[in-house]
Chain A
Amino acid sequence: MSGRVTSSPPGPLEYLRRWPIRAWLAAVVIYLYAPLVTLMVFSFNTSKRNIVWRGFTLDWYRAAFQDSDLIVAFGNSLTIAAVSTLISVALGALTAMLLWRFRFPGKPALEGALGLPIVVPEICMGVAMLVFFTQIMPWPTDLIWPLNLGAIIISHISFSFSFVAIVIRGRLASFNRELEEAAKDLGAGEWRIFWDVIVPHMRPGLLAGALLAFTLSLDDFVITFFTSGPDTTTFPVKVYSMVRFSVTPEVNAASTILIVLTVALTALALRVSGGAVATLEAGEGL
């Protein structure tokens, strides 16, 4: 991995400089990357059969952009992600401040309940949302555009605001309470302290939480699959219905766009939070 000239034999603990470990690492990286790289490369291939490289083309991207269903689905996905991010961040920030500031009866129970959306299997949450939005609170199907996405947006907020709360709570832990006391001594009220002292400190956490919520929403398939109707498909749901039939370069092109978008967003999130988001997303299943 390092470009150093390895003149000395590897030290006892320099495992990365031993060839079996290197070979293993290389094999794992190939395993992880080869499918994705071939997917992206073959989105530029002229051959429909998609297996031999024939020549470079942007036709599949053109086809993807002319597929109005796909574009609508993509617009839906971005809208859902934007709205659910906004509300998730607000709810997450409130939750984080609540747990950070107060001691109250039922706090462990609330913390446990907030952990639930993170541990409950997606399929269970999906069917629960399906039943909820058909039996308990039927979501009207004939609403105008952004409103008909309401059921999906609500479900996305339910699974992402716990993650956001964790990110913001982590940020708040580093807050110096003396700043708050100083503000109080100088005559600031609750509201003023909140806006001028606490929110500026929370800002990196808010931003990291927002990007996390956005990618979680954009990525979700299972829960959306159960809450979307015929008129409210999202990008992953649409791609799923295309994938069911066959492997086509058009799907490759659409997938490549989404890969580039999420990787760019995550890179941004990493920049902002300095790695906190990465570890949290990895702990998604916990």
Chain B
Amino acid sequence: MDESWRKAKGVFAALATPPVFWLAAFFLIPLAVIWGYSFGENKSLTEIAVNGTFSNYVHAIKPLYLGIILKSFWFALLTTVLCLMVGFPVAIAITFASEKAKAWLLLLIMLPFWTNLLIRTYALMAVLRTEGYINFTLAFLWNGLGDLTALFGHPLAPFVPLQLLHNNFAVVFGLVYVQLPFMVLPLYAALDRLDRSLLEASLDLGAGHLTTFRRVVIPLAMPGIVSGVLVTLIPSIGAYLTPDLLGGPSSQMIANVIERQFKTANDWPFGAALSFLLMYMTFLAIAVQAIVSRGRRERDR
């Protein structure tokens, strides 16, 4: 398998050069430039002086921006918890289905997820807006109820549409909608590997389904839960489209602030600092997951 690169230097160079060049030139350098800018300041409209200042990072932890960072984290956490709660029964249902039903159920969960993120978000806008399907249904029910009470001489007040779009609720609703398949898949992968005789033993020995779930299924499925949490949490923290289209002025997340710095506010160094803070948060989450899973492996040994 592993051939030393010295044995076939020509082949090695031919294979290594294009991808390494591409990765360095069109990925690492752009990131490095942003990283550099995060220690710089605007000199004029087009000129940025990289002078090693930390002022952008200091600016980023001022209450206004710290609040947005914390809010992003809070939205992501809430999304993850909701996805876990909604997704776990789904993963269980898929795991214990027959082979044929399993394939179809997996496809059913994955299919919406292959459609474009923008289109899925747009579809939610049509559902949630004041003249959307939910409010339309509610208005229909309310008016029906109003006709009924009018017969008894107590007409109801006219229907006031619920404000479901452009608020924090819509953002979390949308994030759960978008991220749910990310959660179900790793959960299913972990549950599918689980030794069923352990569950049967637990049930035979008199534990109920809930006790078995809490004391046997959850501990055994922990690696899947951890990776599900990670794949849901990370994209949620940096979500741009969902808060942009579904959120209101007070539900902007860190990605929206970054976008504004680069597109309208024209404060690139500050936007760069925020970008790197977001990236550090991502790496931190991955590192925590690596440590947790390593700790588990060592305990299991």
Q: How many residues of A contact B (CB 8 A)?
A: 95
- In the complex, identify which listed stretch (A55-63, A66-74, A201-209, A218-226) lies at the interface while the others stay far away: A218-226
A24 to B105 CA separation, bound complex (whole angstroms): 13
Q: Name the contact of B3 in the complex, choosing from A20, A38, A94, A101 (C-beta under 8 A).
A: A101
Query: In the complex, what distance in Å separates the CA atom of A212 from the CA atom of B5?
Result: 30
Residues of B248-277 contacting chain A, CB below 8 A: 255, 258-259, 262, 268, 271-272, 275-276
Is the Cβ of B33 less than 8 Å from the Cβ of A131?
yes
A147 within 8 A of B: no
Whether B181 lies near A282 (C-beta < 8 A) is yes
Which of A29, A103, A114, A121 contacts B23, CB < 8 Å?
A114
Nearest-Cβ distance from residue A156 to partner chain B, whole angstroms: 10
Majority secondary structure of chain A interface residues (helix, strand, loop or mixed) = helix
Contact A21 B89 (CB under 8 A): yes
Return chain A residues, CB-CB under 8 Å to B112.
Answer: 32-33, 36
Secondary structure of the B contact surface, majority rule: helix
List of B residues within 8 angstroms of A278 by Cβ: 106, 110
For B97, the chain A residues whose CB sits under 8 A away are 1, 16
Q: A15 — which chain B residues lie within 8 A by C-beta?
A: 92-93, 95-96
Q: Is A266 an interface residue (CB 8 A)?
A: yes
Enumerate chain A residues within 8 angstroms of B101, measured Cβ to Cβ.
Answer: 1-2, 16
Is B30 a contact of A132 with CB atoms below 8 Å? yes
Partner of A123, one of B4, B114, B116, B275: B275
Residues of chain A within 8 A (CB-CB) of B275 are: 123-124, 127-128
CA–CA, A120 to B275, complex, Å?
Answer: 10
Residues B33 and A263 in contact, CB atoms below 8 Å apart = no
Asked if B131 is at the interface of the complex by the 8 Å CB criterion, the answer is: yes
Q: Which of B90-114 contact A (CB under 8 A)?
A: 90, 92-93, 95-98, 100-101, 104-106, 108-114
**Do A123 and B258 have beta carbons less than 8 Å apart?**
yes
B57 interface contact, C-beta 8 A: no
B5: chain A residues at CB < 8 Å are: 102-104
Note all chain B residues with C-beta closer than 8 A to A122: 238, 240
List the A residue with the shortest CB-CB distance to B135. Answer: A51
In the complex, are the beta carbons of A283 and B177 less than 8 A apart?
no
- Complex-state Cα separation, A125 to B232, whole angstroms: 19
Give every chain B residue within 8 A of A284 (Cβ-Cβ): 182, 235
Contact assessment for A285 and B2 in the assembled complex, using a CB-CB cutoff below 8 Å = no
Tell me the minimal C-beta distance from A52 to chain B in angstroms: 8
B160 at the interface (CB under 8 A from A): no
Q: Interface size of B by Cβ–Cβ distance < 8 Å?
A: 99
Of listed B16, B116, B240, B272, residue having the most chain A CB within 10 A: B116
CB-CB under 8 A for A120 and B279, given A128-B34, A132-B30, A282-B185:
yes
> 1/0 contact trace for B32-60 toward A, CB 8 Å?
01100100000000000000000000000
Interface string of A108-131 (1 = CB under 8 A from B): 001001101101111111011111
- Tell me the bound Cα distance from A121 to B274 in angstroms: 12
Among residues 158 to 204 in chain A, which have CB atoms less than 8 Å away from a CB atom of chain B?
158, 161, 165, 177, 190
5 contacts between A and B (CB under 8 A): A38-B123, A110-B20, A121-B238, A122-B240, A247-B122
17 further A-B contacts with Cβ under 8 Å, apart from A25-B93, A221-B116, are: A15-B93, A24-B89, A24-B93, A32-B112, A35-B127, A90-B18, A91-B18, A94-B15, A97-B15, A120-B282, A123-B255, A135-B33, A222-B241, A236-B118, A243-B125, A262-B114, A282-B182
